[in-house]
Structure 1
Amino acid sequence: MSEGIKEQSGLSEAAAQSRASVLRSRAESYIALSRHDAAIADLTESITLAPDNARAWRLRGESHRVIERYDAALEDFDEALKLEPDSAYALGSRGQTYAALGRLDDAMADFEHALTLSPGSLWILEAKADALVDLDRLDEALAEHAKIISLDEDLAYSWVARGDLYQRMNLYTEAIDDYTKALETDPEYVRALSRRGEAYRMTDQYDEALADLNRALELDPENDRAYGSRGAVLSEMGDDEAALKDLNRAIELDARYIWAYRVRGEILQELDRHEEAVADFSQALHLEFGD
């Protein structure tokens, strides 16, 4: 610590280092509690007292990233990497920040470097897979998901993540298989139930879809996506009034749920309720395209 900082803090070198250490530790608890502004305040003081601590820069960068202050996050990760150039954590987090900014080539470079240092890091592999999806390199993304699953087949989330990618690729049978694997590990995994229900809907397996979506909503009564999917299933099964009830609830829960407006508009159109249908289609266009 420089003499100027010591004079400003009024602390000896040892006391300054001790205070900085406690502030870093408290910040980690603030981060765990999602109190990121409090964490940033502690870490800013910690950095002032002990500017050569890479962990403080990295933690502050992570808090900035989580609350979407991406430019500040990049500055902090850059400082952390000056101090610890081979920090897989800082590289992975900076890669996530680049990805959030749409700088996908920079993100991929950081992920690749991080994985040479920590090849079994699941969260970095997942972030790389997400970036590959954004780059429309879907087969490569699938290969990354296969690596993730091979490292720990008991992680339900990993099966769901690959299932979501299969669903995006319209490979619904494969998606259903992966969601089923996730549910074997965690039978009450709401996202797996909801997404498998949607995949069943896309393959015209309406009874199976309805069973999954009913269970998802039993477990999570405010799951807007499950309501939207169940509304579409009920419509396909000929129960338009129940479908509209579900879609109304989905939109109550998320007023920006574009797909729900579109599906509700189509049902209203079939029921010759054209003024209401026009309003829903107009809202969908407004939300997606700014019309």
Structure 2
Amino acid sequence: MHLSHDEEDYNLSLSKFESMLKTNKVLFFDSEEFEEIILHYLDMGKASLAKKALKLALEQHPRSTGLKLVQVEMLVYDDKLETAEKLLNELYAIEPQNEEIFIQKANIYSKRDNHEKAVELLQEALKLTDDYADVYNLIGMEYLFMDNLEFAKENFIKCLEEDVEDQAALYNVVYCFEFLDQNKEAIDFLEKYIDRNPYSEIAWHQSGRLYYGLQDYENALRCFDYASMIDDEFMGAFMEKAKSLERLKRYEEAIESYNRTIELDDPTSYALLRIGKCYEKLGNKPLALKYFHKTVHEDPLLDKGWIAITDFYVRQKNYQKALFYVNKAIGIDNENRLYWKRYATINKALDFLEEAEMGYRKAVEFGDYELDTWLYWIDILQNLGEYDAAIHTLLQASEYFPEEFQLEYRLAGLYFMDGDDTKGKFHLSNGLRVSFENNTILESLFPEVWTRKDVQEMINKK
């Protein structure tokens, strides 16, 4: 690859400096060379080398304001804010029109969580600088810290007006729009941005994401297509393109796009899983199963992979195989509520009620508070004749779903079955009040209670 003259000089400076460190010979560098060397080491996270370079730099150029500002940056990096501030005040006395002094002072105030003062100082820097884009970007970041997303957005937009290719500012603008729930406005903004910079794969990709969020999959696909044409190694664009194609039921094309992500990088469990789902939608069950197995091989801890295999066999009504795989999954993670719910559902289908009851109990224990989970668990307890346990579980469920007719009718039936007519009538009255038309729940689950004269009288009174 051909290097520019500046890049060649930069690389020469670095190798010259590193050679000097190895030989202990002191070589001369101009102050700008030193600045670049120090900032390079800071960017690389090599703080000790940056400090060595700074020490030598200040020995050779003790009056350089640029180097002293780099020193300030390193002091701030080390949280030596008071020393940094003192040095900045000395520099301000010498060069009051240097915008970098205001930027570094703002950085110190930002570190102290005084973001209003930081903005004030950056506004001063704005009056002195030629690099408006950088300062607008810094002001935007301060407003982000203050959770003032509107002002942050304004400043990131100003930054992009000055420097259309500032990708960080572009991401931040979109983030602000999304946080403010202004997705359509974000799309309008990106369309205007693309008019100015039509080959920005980031802008096309972000537009696609926004259209996808609005469920406009055709436009999302169009945007991801452009992004992937501009940069044919943009893995994120191919991944999102595949998801859009899948939503549009264009499964064969989706598979191609997912495969492209695998060509660009190591296979991800997500891509393998989605390829399996696409093959299943196309009716190619052997290939679907093959990719589900690849998914769990790639990432044995990914619950979606094990669930895909389990659900695949459930759909085939092959409950023995489904049980085998859900047991494997539980062996890997026995606190996963999604595994336990499937374990319960499969055992229920096999008429293993005690195992099913344990599965629903474990699912709730590990955080599944869905209404249907409670109801399945309660109905199994009833079928097992565990009325007290079923009542206790219903009362627990009522804390999550107060005034839920399905729980009230079940409580009524169980209390009547348990011989507690007072509580039975109380909950029957609640059920009839909340949803009279669903009183047939009592008939289907508790036929012997339904035929009672006093129960029929209560229903007919309503």
Return the offset for 1:108: 2.0
Find out whether 1:52 has 2:162 as its counterpart. yes
Return the offset for 1:134: 2.0
Which amino acid in 2 is paired with 1:181? K
Return the offset for 1:21: 4.4
Unmatched 5+ stretches in structure 1: 1-5, 281-290
Contact 1:57 1:79 in 2 (8 A): no
Q: Which residue of 2 aligns with 1:19?
A: 135
**Alignment match of 1:146 (pick from 256, 259, 268):** 259
Partners of 1:100 and 1:51 lie apart in 2 by 26
TM-score where L is the length of structure 1: 0.69
Tell me how many residue pairs correspond in the alignment.
Answer: 267
1:38-60 Cα offsets, whole Å, 9 max, x none, are 78865543434563344213332
Partners of 2:184 and 2:141 lie apart in 1 by 24
Contact 1:58 1:77 in 2 (8 A): no
Find out whether 1:135 has 2:248 as its counterpart. yes
Which amino acid in 2 is paired with 1:19? V
Partners of 2:182 and 2:312 lie apart in 1 by 36
**Alignment match of 2:201 (pick from 84, 88, 97):** 88
User: What's the secondary structure of 1:154's corresponding residue?
Assistant: coil
Q: Which residue of 2 aligns with 1:239?
A: 352
Partners of 1:257 and 1:163 lie apart in 2 by 30
Which amino acid in 1 is paired with 2:314? R
Correspondences of 1:1-291 after superposition (within 5 Å): 9-11=123-125, 12-14=128-130, 16-22=132-138, 42=152, 44-48=154-158, 51-54=161-164, 55=167, 56-62=169-175, 64-65=177-178, 69-152=182-265, 154-169=267-282, 171-217=284-330, 219-220=332-333, 223-247=336-360, 250=363, 253-255=367-369, 264=376, 271=383, 279=406
Q: Which moved more, 1:37-46 or 1:202-211?
A: 37-46
Which amino acid in 1 is paired with 2:161? P
Return the offset for 1:159: 0.7
Identity %: 17
After superposition, the Cα gap between the structure-2 partners of 1:244 and 1:57, relative to the gap in structure 1 and judged at 3 Å, is same
Contact 2:160 2:170 in 1 (8 A): no
1:154-195 Cα offsets, whole Å, 9 max, x none, are 322211121233344554432221121123333333321222
Contact 1:210 1:230 in 2 (8 A): yes
1:231-250 Cα offsets, whole Å, 9 max, x none, are 22222333223324434554
Partners of 2:281 and 2:379 lie apart in 1 by 24
Alignment RMSD (CA, Å): 4.4
Q: Which moved more, 1:118-127 or 1:236-245?
A: 236-245
Which amino acid in 1 is paired with 2:302? Y
Q: Which moved more, 1:117-126 or 1:248-257?
A: 248-257
Partners of 2:194 and 2:334 lie apart in 1 by 44
TM-score where L is the length of structure 2: 0.47
Larger RCO: 1 or 2 (CA < 8 Å, sep 6+) = 1
Partners of 1:161 and 1:61 lie apart in 2 by 27
